[in-house]
């Protein structure tokens, strides 16, 4: 039987923890980015280091591409570790009820 320290120090546990942190980032998207960005976007999912963001228009998606590196740094700072390596911007209608 594995010791608890081995389980919590394992790569699969780290991957699970990063997946949970990524899911929390999706849920807390509006807090992680500023109001201007959150009013034009919606976080969809986090998968393998990439966060997928739905954007209201292609103009906004283009603008956000220029901010991508800064956004990645801000998101990683928000969660307290480097789990976001990429952002994918998807242009679709966004529902902000």
Confidence check: pLDDT of 94 > 80? no
What is the extent of the structural domain holding 61?
4-91
Q: Does a structural domain hold residue 97?
A: no
Residue-level pLDDT at 21: 79
Provide the CATH number for the domain around residue 31. Answer: 3.30.300.180
The domain tally of the chain equals: 1
Confidence check: pLDDT of 5 > 70? no
Q: Does a structural domain hold residue 16?
A: yes
pLDDT in tens, 43-68: 999 998 999 999 999 999 999 999 99
Share of the chain above pLDDT 70, in %: 81
For the segment 71-90, the average pLDDT, to the nearest whole number, is: 95
Quote the pTM value.
Answer: 0.79
The three-state DSSP-derived secondary structure of 6-64 is HHHCCHHHHHHHHHHHHHHHHHCHHHHCCHHHHCCEEEEEEECCEEEEEECCHHHHHHH
Q: Does a structural domain hold residue 17?
A: yes
Q: Does a structural domain hold residue 63?
A: yes
């Amino acid at each position: 039987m594995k010791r608890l320290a081995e389980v919590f120090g394992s790569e699969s546990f780290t991957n699970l923890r990063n997946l949970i942190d990524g899911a929390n980032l999706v849920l807390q998207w509006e807090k992680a980015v500023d109001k201007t960005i959150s009013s034009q976007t919606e976080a969809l999912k986090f998968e393998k280091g990439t966060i997928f963001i739905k954007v209201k228009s292609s103009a906004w998606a283009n603008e956000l591409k220029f901010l991508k590196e800064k956004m990645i740094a801000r998101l990683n700072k928000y969660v307290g570790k480097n789990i976001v390596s990429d952002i994918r911007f998807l242009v679709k209608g966004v529902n902000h009820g």
